[in-house]
């Protein structure tokens, strides 16, 4: 469905001078340097997939989404969606896609939600029957009826996001772009959004491309993730595989019944020990949790234990910060 090959977008940015007369020199010269917002990115997305598009701020996510929605023309490379080149046939193309940008609404600020939705029906030329069926279904799943007649400006963020999701899907798009759809929402609201996206994908086979900073979104929705940083695609695969590769060590927390002078144990690293409580780090590929517990209980008397798997949050943060994938991307 989405076919992207060697896609690049370079921006020319004005160079600012420093030091004396900087303002004057800025004014008289026009030196620029090139910023590679997206640099030779390639990937494919098949129909019905839900793909998470991850990367730190300024990595090139939004630029990619803008190219995919036809709002930006790439500097070079190949990009087709469903056979369309988005920015060439924008009007025809955008009629077949839906997009939700968490940061801003596509609805009309002063109009009641239902009025906005009806206007969209005319804009997208949705047949009356389809419109009514879809609206009824989305009303139920997204619980829209409590605020359908309120003007958009008076909605809470969670309500607005639900209304926006509904608006983006009324015309049965094949492809849905979600740009940070859960940003700023509380736990319940996030769950509701995720549930709806899952529902849409399962029932209608809508292809979804999702950017987010909330990895719980990705864990619950996306079997496949793409990671981009500094314009380069660094990873294409499942989150589980990423975790297995870069997840780091598991932690075992142990409470002893008495004060032992030495609690070191082979195969695990003692991170912390005080007040009868010790924390070990171990690599699951070398030693299983039960083996470690076995070794400990053979030597000491234990009151309580808990095992913590490394969380995705930490893994992804390490990938961003330590640039784990920059040297050899997995794609």
Partner 1 sequence: MRLFWEITRRSFRRHLTYRTAALAGLVTNSFFGLVRAAVLVALYGDREVVAGLDVQSIITYTGLTQAVIVYLSIFGWYDLMNAVHQGEISADLLKPMRLFSFWLAQDLGRALVGLVLRGFTIMLVYALIFDISYPAGVAQWGALVVALALSWLLSFAYRFLVNLAAFWSPDAKGIGRFAFVIVMFFSGFLMPLRFFPDWVQTVAYLTPFPHMLNTVVEVYLGVVTGSALVQALLAQALWAFGLVALCQFVLSRATRRLVILGG
Is residue 189 a contact point for partner 1 (CB under 8 A)?
no
3-state secondary structure (DSSP) of residue 220: helix
Is residue 273 a contact point for partner 1 (CB under 8 A)?
no
Which of residues 49, 51, 79, 101 is near partner 1 by CB under 8 A? Answer: 101
CA distance 116 to 168: 11
Q: Which is nearer to partner 1, 110 or 286 (CB)?
A: 110
Identify which of 242, 210, 220 has the alpha carbon closest to the alpha carbon of residue 53. Answer: 210
Is residue 23 a contact point for partner 1 (CB under 8 A)?
no
Q: Which is nearer to partner 1, 99 or 225 (CB)?
A: 99
Tokens at 94, concatenated: 């955008």
Is residue 172 a contact point for partner 1 (CB under 8 A)?
no
Packing angle of the helix pair 113-123, 128-142 (nearest 10 deg): 140
Which of residues 8, 64, 105, 211 is near partner 1 by CB under 8 A? Answer: 105
**Candidates 25-33, 121-129, 188-196, 294-302; binding stretch for partner 1 (CB under 8 A):** 121-129
CA distance 53 to 212: 7
Q: Is the dihedral of CA 16, 55, 217, 199 positive or negative?
A: positive
**Candidates 117-125, 200-208, 264-272, 318-326; binding stretch for partner 1 (CB under 8 A):** 117-125
Identify which of 60, 83, 70 has the alpha carbon closest to the alpha carbon of residue 2. Answer: 83
Q: Which residues pair with 306 in a beta bridge?
A: 253
**Candidates 103-111, 132-140, 193-201, 206-214; binding stretch for partner 1 (CB under 8 A):** 103-111
Smallest distance from partner 1 to CB 115, Å: 6
Is residue 70 a contact point for partner 1 (CB under 8 A)?
yes
Q: Which is nearer to partner 1, 114 or 281 (CB)?
A: 114
What is Dmax (Cα atoms) for the chain?
Answer: 78
19 phi, psi to nearest 5 deg: 85, -160
Is residue 111 a contact point for partner 1 (CB under 8 A)?
yes
Is residue 124 a contact point for partner 1 (CB under 8 A)?
yes
Interface with partner 1: number of residues (CB under 8 A)? 29
Is residue 63 a contact point for partner 1 (CB under 8 A)?
yes
CA distance 148 to 219: 31
Smallest distance from partner 1 to CB 178, Å: 13
Which of residues 3, 115, 139, 191 is near partner 1 by CB under 8 A? Answer: 115
Is residue 131 a contact point for partner 1 (CB under 8 A)?
no
Q: Which residues pair with 45 in a beta bridge?
A: 2
Is residue 99 a contact point for partner 1 (CB under 8 A)?
yes
Q: Which residues pair with 252 in a beta bridge?
A: 280, 307
Residue 234 vs residues 8, 194, 317: alpha-carbon distances, Å: 15, 25, 14
Is residue 110 a contact point for partner 1 (CB under 8 A)?
yes
Is residue 120 a contact point for partner 1 (CB under 8 A)?
yes
Tokens at 123, concatenated: 């804009």
Which of residues 1, 3, 11, 279 is near partner 1 by CB under 8 A? Answer: 11
Residue 5 vs residues 85, 119, 233, 314: alpha-carbon distances, Å: 13, 36, 11, 31
Is residue 183 a contact point for partner 1 (CB under 8 A)?
no
Q: Which residues bind partner 1 (CB under 8 A)?
A: 11, 63, 66, 69-73, 87, 90-92, 94-95, 99, 101, 104-106, 108, 110-111, 115, 118-120, 122-124
């Amino acid at each position: 469905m989405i076919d992207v090959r060697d896609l690049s977008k370079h921006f020319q940015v004005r160079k600012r001078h420093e030091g004396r007369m900087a303002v004057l020199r800025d004014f008289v010269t026009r030196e620029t340097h090139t910023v590679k917002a997206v640099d030779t990115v390639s990937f494919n997305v098949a129909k019905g997939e839900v793909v998470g598009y991850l990367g730190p701020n300024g990595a090139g996510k939004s630029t990619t989404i803008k190219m995919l929605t036809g709002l930006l023309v790439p500097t070079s490379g190949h990009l087709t969606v469903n056979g369309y080149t988005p920015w060439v046939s924008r009007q025809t193309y955008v009629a077949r896609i839906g997009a939700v940008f968490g940061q801003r609404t596509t609805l009309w600020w002063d109009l009641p939600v239902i009025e906005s939705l009806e206007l969209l029906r005319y804009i997208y030329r949705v047949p009356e029957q389809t419109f009514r069926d879809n609206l009824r279904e989305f009303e139920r799943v997204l619980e829209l009826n409590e605020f359908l007649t309120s003007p958009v400006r008076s909605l809470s963020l969670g309500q607005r996001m639900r209304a926006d999701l509904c608006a983006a899907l009324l015309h049965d798009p094949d492809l849905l772009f979600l740009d940070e759809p859960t940003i700023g929402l509380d736990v319940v609201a996030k769950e509701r959004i995720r549930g709806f996206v899952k529902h849409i994908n399962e029932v209608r086979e809508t292809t979804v491309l999702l950017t987010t900073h909330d990895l719980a979104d990705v864990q619950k929705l996306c079997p496949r993730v793409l990671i981009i940083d500094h314009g380069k695609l660094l990873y294409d695969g499942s989150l589980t595989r990423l975790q297995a590769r870069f997840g780091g060590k598991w932690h075992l927390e142990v409470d002893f019944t008495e004060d032992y002078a030495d609690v070191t144990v082979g195969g695990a690293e003692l991170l912390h020990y005080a007040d009868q409580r010790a924390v070990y780090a171990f690599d699951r590929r070398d030693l299983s949790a039960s083996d470690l517990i076995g070794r400990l209980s053979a030597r000491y008397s234990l009151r309580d234990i808990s095992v913590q798997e490394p969380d995705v949050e930490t893994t992804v943060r390490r990938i961003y910060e330590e640039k784990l994938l920059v040297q050899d991307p997995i794609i």
